[in-house]
């Protein structure tokens, strides 16, 4: 194992362990509120050609979307405020210094049909889009009190959500005509995107949640099983293959999110590191005067949040998950007893598989999960897509999770398994190469913004033509 340019002590403090899945089902109450349910948060330097001076943040919501789920397809909620938080001061204490809010509005255009989309749809202005969503971006600097709102791009076009991918008859050349056209550039240099995409998270969820019924050779990988894209189904099954998510992504100059609005000069620059997390909020009062539409009043309150992958699912006990979701990262010290002595390490890795794990308190875990924010060292250069390593720093690619934030291709599952087993703690460096056996996404990710692949088509989503854990792309 090679750790380039970083000491073991630094790596142990910064990396620590996540758990083995993304935030797709992250609390009992959120099972009843899927439009506010966050899945994953990504934060990384852009690796798109010519744009390495940019930073990208994206959040995915409403996981496990069946692409064929018509006639009313998935949409963003008009009553949910979707928020990116940026922390760039005070040693990254979990308090936001900047926020980017995204607010959606739905227009149901008059039509005689029973469907949301009809006929040939080859542009975002197509008259066949009967359910049309637009949005506004609110950029807020909490230190200066300034706020800027955008509802149109630099050319005056409304910020429009990409429609779902129905299939080749309704939406031929989906990505060229619709997906890529939903990337808008704002007058301040930011780019934004909102719409359905393939879920770039990959993980054998079915085997794991069948009480650790891993498919051989998982959970201890070796040789070919630990290299390259990994085995195909049925040896390894990506439980997220073929499903879509709703993605919100922004790209901005790095200097827009540093405290001094300058590009960091080196690792010792006090502005070299920033952090971020995503959150969803609703107004505190909802009145349903049926048959009229619901009305919403009062202050916004937090419903969900996500920083590092699966903090709440694997480190926070079930009875406290909803409470954790409603708290801010700056208050995470109250959960230290669960993070510093995680059941997943002592009860599962040690108790079930007999693997030695470091003793509590796990300061390596506390160092990254309290507060639970995704950190990025802005002085680490972006790694081109073709050269990225799924294990990030464990394979010498420091632009991945967690030093360079988190990219769509980072295998946070296997990195987390190994860190929980103590691979980064002195005395535990020789921990087994743990993993779930799924080493890459079911379809290739993109080398351009918004980086998540195009959404799978409803027409091709079936047990016959679906990806079956890896294989035929349906988008």
- Lowest model confidence (mean pLDDT) among 24-33, 143-152, 297-306, 386-395: 24-33
Using the predicted structure, report yes or no on whether residue 464 has a pLDDT greater than 60: no
15 touches 402 (CB < 8 A): yes
How many Å apart are CA 82 and CA 278, to the nearest integer? 8
167 touches 112 (CB < 8 A): no
For residue 450, say if its preceding peptide bond is cis, omega within 30 degrees of 0: yes
340 touches 361 (CB < 8 A): yes
Q: What is the mean pLDDT of residues 81-86?
A: 98
pLDDT band at residue 231 under the 50/70/90 scheme: confident
Q: What percent of the chain has pLDDT over 90?
A: 69
Q: What is the pLDDT of residue 363?
A: 87
**Helix, strand, coil: what percent of the chain each, to 5?**
20, 25, 55
Tokens at residue 221, please?
């990988």
More confident residue, 429 or 145: 145
More confident residue, 224 or 136: 136
Tokens at residue 383, please?
């790694």
| Residue 229 φ then ψ, to 5° | -75, -10
pLDDT band at residue 13 under the 50/70/90 scheme: very low
For the chain, how long is the longest CA-to-CA vector? 69
Task: Convert the pLDDT of each residue in 302-339 to its tens digit.
Answer: 999 999 987 887 788 999 999 999 999 999 999 999 98
pLDDT band at residue 33 under the 50/70/90 scheme: very high
Using the predicted structure, report yes or no on whether residue 424 has a pLDDT greater than 60: yes
- Lowest model confidence (mean pLDDT) among 4-18, 79-93, 406-420: 4-18
Q: Which helix (H) or strand (E) holds 297?
A: strand 295-306
More confident residue, 160 or 23: 160
Q: What is the mean pLDDT of residues 219-246?
A: 87
Residue 381 per-residue DSSP state = P
How many Å apart are CA 98 and CA 272, to the nearest integer? 16
Q: Which of 130-134, 223-227, 307-311, 460-464 has the highest mean pLDDT?
A: 130-134
Identify the CA nearest to 437 among candidates 404, 411, 463. 411
Contacts of 240 (CB under 8 A, 6+ apart): 24, 63, 64, 199, 201, 202, 203, 205, 442
Task: Convert the pLDDT of each residue in 187-205 to its tens digit.
Answer: 999 999 999 999 999 999 8
- C-alpha pair distances (Å), 374 with each of 100, 210, 260: 16, 29, 20
How many Å apart are CA 364 and CA 343, to the nearest integer? 15
pLDDT band at residue 55 under the 50/70/90 scheme: very high
| Residue 54 φ then ψ, to 5° | -115, 155
Using the predicted structure, report yes or no on whether residue 222 has a pLDDT greater than 70: yes
Using the predicted structure, report yes or no on whether residue 212 has a pLDDT greater than 50: yes
Task: Convert the pLDDT of each residue in 261-305 to its tens digit.
Answer: 999 999 999 999 999 999 999 999 999 999 999 999 999 999 999
327-335, Cβ contacts within 8 angstroms, sequence gap of 24 or more? 327/302, 328/94, 328/95, 328/302, 329/87, 329/94, 329/95, 329/277, 329/305, 329/371, 329/372, 329/373, 330/93, 330/94, 330/95, 330/371, 331/94, 332/94, 332/369, 332/370, 332/371, 332/372, 333/370, 335/370
Task: Convert the pLDDT of each residue in 106-122 to its tens digit.
Answer: 999 999 999 999 999 99
* Number of neighbours of residue 106 by Cβ within 10 angstroms: 14
Q: What is the mean pLDDT of residues 67-74?
A: 93
Q: Which helix (H) or strand (E) holds 280?
A: strand 273-287
How many Å apart are CA 97 and CA 431, to the nearest integer? 39
Q: What is the pLDDT of residue 472?
A: 54
Using the predicted structure, report yes or no on whether residue 21 has a pLDDT greater than 60: no
- C-alpha pair distances (Å), 193 with each of 94, 134, 286, 450: 26, 11, 28, 7
């Amino acid at each position: 194992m090679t750790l380039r340019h970083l000491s073991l002590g630094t790596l142990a403090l910064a990396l620590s362990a996540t758990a083995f899945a993304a935030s797709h089902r992250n609390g009992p109450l959120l099972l009843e509120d899927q439009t506010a349910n966050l899945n994953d948060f990504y934060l990384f330097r852009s690796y798109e050609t010519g744009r390495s001076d940019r930073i990208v943040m994206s959040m995915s919501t409403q996981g496990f979307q069946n692409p064929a789920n018509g006639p009313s397809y998935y949409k963003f909620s008009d009553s949910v405020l979707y928020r990116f938080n940026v922390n760039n001061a005070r040693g990254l204490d979990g308090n936001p210094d900047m926020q980017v809010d995204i607010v959606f509005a739905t227009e149901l255009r008059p039509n005689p049909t029973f469907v949301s989309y009809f006929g040939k749809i080859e542009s975002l202005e197509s008259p066949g889009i009967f359910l049309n969503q637009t949005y506004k971006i609110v950029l807020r600097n909490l230190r200066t009190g300034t706020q800027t709102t955008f509802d149109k791009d630099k050319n005056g076009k409304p910020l429009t959500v990409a429609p779902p991918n129905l299939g080749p008859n309704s939406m031929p050349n989906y990505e060229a005509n619709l997906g890529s056209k939903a990337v808008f550039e704002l007058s301040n240099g930011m780019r934004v995107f909102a719409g359905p995409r393939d879920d770039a998270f990959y993980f054998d969820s079915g085997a794991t949640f069948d009480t650790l019924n891993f498919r051989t050779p998982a959970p201890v990988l070796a040789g070919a099983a630990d290299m390259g894209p990994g085995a195909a189904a049925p040896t390894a099954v990506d439980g997220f293959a073929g499903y879509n998510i709703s993605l919100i992504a922004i790209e901005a100059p790095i200097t827009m999110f540093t405290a001094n609005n300058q590009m960091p000069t080196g690792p010792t620059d006090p502005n070299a590191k920033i952090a971020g997390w995503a959150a969803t909020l609703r107004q505190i009062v909802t009145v349903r005067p049926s048959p009229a539409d619901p009305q919403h009043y009062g202050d916004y309150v937090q419903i969900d949040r996500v920083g590092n992958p699966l903090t709440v699912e694997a480190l926070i006990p079930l009875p406290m998950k909803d409470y954790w979701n409603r708290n801010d990262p700056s208050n995470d010290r109250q959960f230290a007893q669960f993070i510093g002595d995680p059941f997943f390490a002592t009860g599962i890795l040690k108790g079930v598989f007999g693997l030695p794990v470091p003793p509590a308190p796990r300061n390596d875990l506390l160092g990254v999960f309290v507060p639970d924010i995704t950190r990025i060292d802005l002085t680490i250069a972006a790694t081109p897509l073709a050269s990225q390593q799924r294990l990030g720093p464990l394979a010498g690619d420091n632009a991945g999770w967690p030093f360079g934030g988190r990219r769509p291709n980072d295998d946070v599952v296997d990195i987390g398994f190994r860190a929980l087993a103590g691979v980064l703690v002195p005395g535990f460096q020789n921990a087994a190469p743990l993993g779930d056996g799924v080493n890459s996404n079911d379809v290739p990710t993109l080398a351009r913004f918004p980086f998540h692949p195009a959404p799978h088509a409803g027409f091709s989503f079936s047990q016959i033509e679906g990806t079956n854990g890896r294989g035929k792309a349906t988008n």
